[in-house]
């Protein structure tokens, strides 16, 4: 389906290479003041690639390839940006990289109840020493570090573009009833990682 129109919201695809496989995190950013898509791409890259941002948890073998941004205004073309101005262009954690399909699921919680107003993000490229010894769960310390890293991500976004927020954007239709709902965006208030190992498969674009 076509992308929705949501004022001041940008769809951002963060492209990475994990163990030779493409991995993409699609997030949404509310950015007031009419910034360009290129400016939003640069802000997202700086926030993800910050020394204390999400890339802190990712393996050094993970490359941060770029950010593709589309303004949800119904008319603007997509713009691609790089991590060239970020602190890092790769992950920072030095250890054996887990398979590309293994990821940490981070719940994105807002102040509005319901699945449509809350989301999930799958962080791939983590390492074996961030897991329990049986390699069936992420360490509690890794989950806590993820909370801190995504808090830094949100802070750097606002530093780069005043008032910018990481949001959950909701739009679409129910395939069974063909019910549609009004597109909207909800600010993320809490990042809640799960220690269960999640799958990144099919999230490659």
- Please state which of the ranges 4-13, 15-24, 58-67, 91-100 shows the lowest mean pLDDT: 91-100
More confidently predicted of 156 and 102: 156
Predicted confidence (pLDDT) at residue 148 exceeds the cutoff of 70: yes
Asked if 36 contacts 8 with a C-beta cutoff of 8 angstroms, the reply is no
**pLDDT at position 114 over 50:** yes
What is the torsional sign of CA 87, 34, 81, 94?
positive
Question: Could you tell me which residue, 114 or 101, shows the higher pLDDT?
Answer: 114
pLDDT at 140: 96
37-48 residue pLDDT tens? 999 999 999 999
What average pLDDT does the structure give for the chain?
Answer: 92
Residue 183 has pLDDT above 50, yes or no: yes
Lowest mean pLDDT among 32-36, 118-122, 178-182: 178-182
Looking at residue 154, its pLDDT comes to 98
What pLDDT was estimated at residue 200?
67
Q: How far is CA 167 from CA 29, 66, 111, 129, in A?
A: 6, 20, 11, 31
CB 62 within 8 A of CB 175: no
- 108 in Cβ contact with 168 (< 8 Å): yes
Q: What angle do CA 117, 56, 88 make, to 5 degrees?
A: 105
Burial readout 157-182 (b: 16 or more C-beta within 10 A, e: otherwise)? beebbeebbbbbbbbeeeeeeeeeee
| Mean pLDDT along residues 7-14 | 98
In degrees, to the nearest 5, what angle opens at C-alpha 197 toward C-alphas 55 and 151? 35
Q: Round to whole Å and give the CA distance between 9 and 28.
A: 7
Distance CA 13, CA 169 (A): 13
Report the C-alpha gap between 63 and 156 in whole angstroms. 20
């Amino acid at each position: 389906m076509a992308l929705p129109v949501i004022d001041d919201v940008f769809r951002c695809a963060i492209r990475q290479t994990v163990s030779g496989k493409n991995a993409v995190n699609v997030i949404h950013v509310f950015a007031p003041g009419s910034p360009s898509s290129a400016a939003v791409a640069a802000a997202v890259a700086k926030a993800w690639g910050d020394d204390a941002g999400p890339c802190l948890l990712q393996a050094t073998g993970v490359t941060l390839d770029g950010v593709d941004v589309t303004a949800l205004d119904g008319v603007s073309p997509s713009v691609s940006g790089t991590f060239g101005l970020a602190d890092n262009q790769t992950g920072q954690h030095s250890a054996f990289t887990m398979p590309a399909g293994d990821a940490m699921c981070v719940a994105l919680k807002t102040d509005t109840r319901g699945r449509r107003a809350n989301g999930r993000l799958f962080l791939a490229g983590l390492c074996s020493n961030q897991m329990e010894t049986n390699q069936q769960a992420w360490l509690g310390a890794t989950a806590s570090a993820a909370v801190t890293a995504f808090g830094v991500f949100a802070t750097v976004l606002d530093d780069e573009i005043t008032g910018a927020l990481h949001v959950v954007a909701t739009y679409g239709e129910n395939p069974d009833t063909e019910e549609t709902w009004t597109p909207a965006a909800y600010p993320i208030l809490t990042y809640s990682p799960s220690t269960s190992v999640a799958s990144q498969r099919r999230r490659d674009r």
